[in-house]
Structure 1
């Protein structure tokens, strides 16, 4: 799952970003709303972690305006403003959760995970193709009933391919959804992960290369 972190204090931004990545999230980072908007226009996120006080002012004003225009992305608001009135203002402005600084990183991770799960409520708990099954809640993959050991990156790529079963998924799409902004877009990074997935999934093959386009996950023979 991909998370956007909007925090203007560099050291705290680095700590939060590192903690979320260690918990298995893909994290993009911004220090202000203009940068955040550029990332929001390019990527799909499960959740936004939003510092309340940014260089352009109180984020609640911006958040409230976006909610009025139909913006529905889950938002966890971070702030040093801790009174009851401050917290109520956060929820009234459209925050889904509100965490006061200083906070414990494990609690932040737990809250982000909860919000991200809500954002994926429309996604089936199980994704299947032939005898391959992905349990999203447990983050477990089985082929013919056998539990497979996948890396977080392999799991993310497989999830995206399964969600798009029977359609061609481009390398650019996989990179955009499964790597964060700090990844180096080397020419073969996607192919390397897909190759590892193929080895672990075994036969008969389910991931097929569509030359010049990308990959298709399907139980049908390659075309």
Structure 2
């Protein structure tokens, strides 16, 4: 473990965990904003049902979601490989199931409900009359969302980002199944060492999960507190 710490392997694990969690949080919150705003614009039963269905992933274990993602992604990869080989003579490789694309997709499915709940809570506090006033002045729905709603519910968006970030940081089953070759995170490394009963060696990776997640938690918590104080 000391060698790992000295040669920068643990720094790489921390960076992998950080940027993976950050990307997943951005994607999940982005989709949550789109879905919540679509439901606000068109509150029909079919839209409400679609939004509710999109948020069901949190009730499923990470292993089930990972298997449900890798099967269609692997099939699509093979179709793309055959197509590229026949038409262009190029070997694309596993561009979906063999990269972070599948992992980020699984994270989005898994944690969309968390971000959706926080975003919907913030959106419900904004009066619909504000939308009507902005649309009367010529703003498009996208402009209303970007220029009015997102700034007004800044604390809710930051809360959603924070929750998804922390959840992804410690997510293990989906990461174990879908991670690309030679790609590790702190959670995976801690699990591997603990599985070998190297509990002392697993301690640094476990502690680094807390350290990597601590700084954004503090920063976002302060931003949320300032946003609420300003409101």
Name the TM-score class by shorter chain: under 0.3
Larger Cα-atom Rg: 2
Provide TM-score, normalisation by structure 2. 0.25
